Structure 1
Amino acid sequence: MLPGKCRDVTRLLSDALDRSLTLHERLQVRVHLPACSGCRAYRGQIAVLRTAAQAVGGRGVGDDRDASSAGDERG
C-alpha cells in the first residue's frame, strides 16, 4: 500500500461521484489502483453502496457517474 497516495486516491474516488475528475486526477487514480489492493477494495465498496442507494431510491444503476469507472476513464 502507498499511504500518502492512498489518502489522495480514496478522496478522488469519492469526488468522482460528484464531479468529473481532471485528466491529471484520472491518471493519478489509474497509476495507483493496479498497485494497491486497499484502494481497489475501496472503489468496489463505493460501487456497492452506490448501487444499493440507487435501488432504495428507485433509481436505475448508471443514471449518474459511477465511481467504479473513475480509474477506467479515458480522455
Structure 2
Amino acid sequence: MDTLTRDEVFEIVGELDDAILLDLIATGATYGELLEACTWLSSDDAMGEILEHPPQGRVAELCDILSRMDWPDERD
C-alpha cells in the first residue's frame, strides 16, 4: 500500500490549503482511504446506516481533516 502523494490528493479533492494537504499526507493514508473519506463526507446518513458503523481508523482521521475545508457546492 502506497501512501498518498500530492498529485493524488489534488486528483481526488482538487486544490486545497497546503496545511490540509500536509495533514492528509501525514496520516499515511492510501488513495483508496482518501476516496472512502470523501465518499463519507459527500454522502448522507444512509451510508452509515448501510454499513452499520461510522468511518473508522485512518478514514475517520481523513474525514476530520477534510471537514476543515470549505467545499464548493459542486465539484468539476
Normalising by the smaller structure, the TM-score range is 0.3 to 0.5
> With structure 2 as the length reference, what TM-score do the two structures score?
0.36
**TM-score, normalised on structure 1?**
0.36
Greater fraction helix: 1
